[in-house]
Each structure stands twice: as structure tokens, then as C-alpha cells.
A = this chain, B = another copy of it.
Amino acid sequence: MDQLRAIRYFCKVVETGSFTKAAKAFNVPPSSLSRRVADLEKSLGATLLKRSTRIVKLTEVGQIYYKDVQQILNQLEQSNETVRSYQTTPMGSLRISSMVGFGEKIVLPLLDEFSALFPEIVLDISLSDELSTLGRDDVDIAIRGGYAPNERVIAIRLMDNGFIPVASASYIEKHGTPNNAMALKNHNGLYFKAPSGPTPWLCNINGQWHDVSGPAIAISNNGSWLAKKACAGEGILMSTRWALASYLESGELLELHFDHPLAITQNADMAVYLLYQKQRYLVPKVKAAVDFLVERIKVSGNRGAM
């Protein structure tokens, strides 16, 4: 029995929920799938699918098996790709996932040049602040804010991701400069919302953390909208240096300084990391993109932010 083929059939049936639809995907008659899946079940001594003429669904043990083999098929495909592309020129589809703000501001502007350098690479970019589980899924490169990955994933620190407080000149004129962190509690706040929720203003004074958030004017996961509001003098905003760089340069927004530094989390090393699976660095397209992104972003990051 060709177990691998049987497993591929099985997975497709699960995904489409139908032998007929799955058969179409392989351009073989449904009877083939029916027989192969039956073979597989026989060889495993267990029923994987509960069938009726209308509906096909996984049994309990089928679910376990499906999750396992799905990942195995993925790994096998990646190994094949590694070998196939070994020492060839970078090409093929490359999937990059990045945080929204960072992706828009930093990554996307670089990618035109990257495409020009590697015309045979087809880019597939997803911007999302939800963290994708690198390794299990179909992303080649992920760019995420400070969390520690597992051992098989390489993390390269791209840039500092610490949040700084800013406000427009007009706001300061109207409400005065807060002369210490505690005074922020009386100031209007524009709050960035991470996937985990709105980010408070925190301040560490003599080893003690204090929440110094002021009344909220607006909360959003869209950094540039908040920045616009800050420019309009609606409140104080905490955001990353890289997101605010253009406003700081133009003078539209001014950084506020305090004796005790502000943060939005008690976690110390906030940074943006580029993540990829160790083994995938052997694939030319992945290596090309990792090298390119790390070089460009680290350079620009050091110039602008550190």
C-alpha cells in the first residue's frame, strides 16, 4: 500500500468534507479515494472517518491522526523543497507574516527592492498582529514583537520595540508639560491596542510598577490613526520609535522625557524579532529574504532609532 498517498487522500477528504470533492482535486474517481482510505483504516485497525452519504466527519481517533499526519506531510514537503532547491537561485513563492504597523512602515517599503533583486521570488505577505505558529504552518518568515520562540526557530533581533510617550506642541501648550510620570494620570491618552488588549502607561519607580494611564480619548490597533490624533493635539500617545519616526523628524510630535522611564509592559527587552525555522535557511529563497531583511532593517533601525 502506498501509505503516503492514502494519507494525502485522507487529508483532502477531511479538508473538503467529501470523497467526491477530494477526488476532483486529485483527478481520480471517488472510488479510488474510498478504497485507499479504507486500506489505511484497515492497516491502522481503526475507523478514521464517520461516513454517511451526505456527510463525512472525523472520528475521535481520526482527529488525532489527522493533526499528526497533516504536520508530517508539511515537514516532508519542506524537506523535499530543501533538496530540490539546494544550491539553486532563489525562486518560488515566499510567505512573510508581519505585525501590521511594522509591516506597513518598515517591511513593505523594502520589498520592491527585494523583488527587483530576486525577480523569481513571488512574495506573499500577510500583515496581522495575531501570532502565527511558525513551524506548524505555511509561513516562511515571521516578524513579531518580543516573545521567545522555541529551539527549532531562529530569532534575530531586528530593532528596539520600546514605547515612548509623545505629544504635539499644541497639546503641550494647552495642557502643560507633565513634569513627572505620575502627572500623566491627569493627561488625555491615546491608547494603542495590542492583540492582548489596550496598552497601559506603566512606570517603574524605585523597583515598583505604577499604572500612570490617564483618561482615554481613543483606543485603536491602528497606529497611524492614533498618531494623527496626537498631531491634532488630542492627547498623549505611547508608541514605538519606528512608528513615530517621521512625526518626530518633522517636529509634529515631541518626545516627552521623564526621570523614570515609561513602558507598556513590565517585560524588559521589548524588541522586534525576525523568526524562521532553522532548517529552512537552507532554502535559497528563505536565506535570501532573511539576509536581506536583517541587513536592511538593522541598518535603518540603528540609524533611526537607537
**Which A residues contact B (CB, under 8 angstroms)?**
2-5, 44-46, 48, 61, 64-65, 68-69, 71-72, 75-76, 78-80, 82-84, 86-87, 150-151, 279, 282
Contact = CB atoms under 8 A, between A and B. Distances in A.
B4 A68 contact: no
Counting every copy of the chain, the complex holds 2
15 contacts: A2-B2, A2-B4, A3-B76, A45-B83, A46-B84, A48-B83, A61-B83, A61-B86, A65-B79, A65-B82, A65-B83, A68-B79, A72-B72, A72-B79, A150-B150
A55 B144 CA distance: 48
Contact of A83 (B46, B78, B83, B150): B46
A68 B46 contact: no
| Nearest 8 pairs of A and B residues by beta carbon | A68-B79, A4-B4, A2-B2, A44-B83, A61-B86, A65-B83, A46-B83, A3-B4
A75 to B, nearest CB: 5
Contacts of A2: 2, 4-5
Contact of A84 (B3, B45, B82): B45
Given A4-B3, A64-B282, A76 B69 contact: yes
A238 to B, nearest CB: 32
Give the residue among A71, A75, A151, A279 with the most B Cβ atoms within 10 A: A75
A72 to B, nearest CB: 5
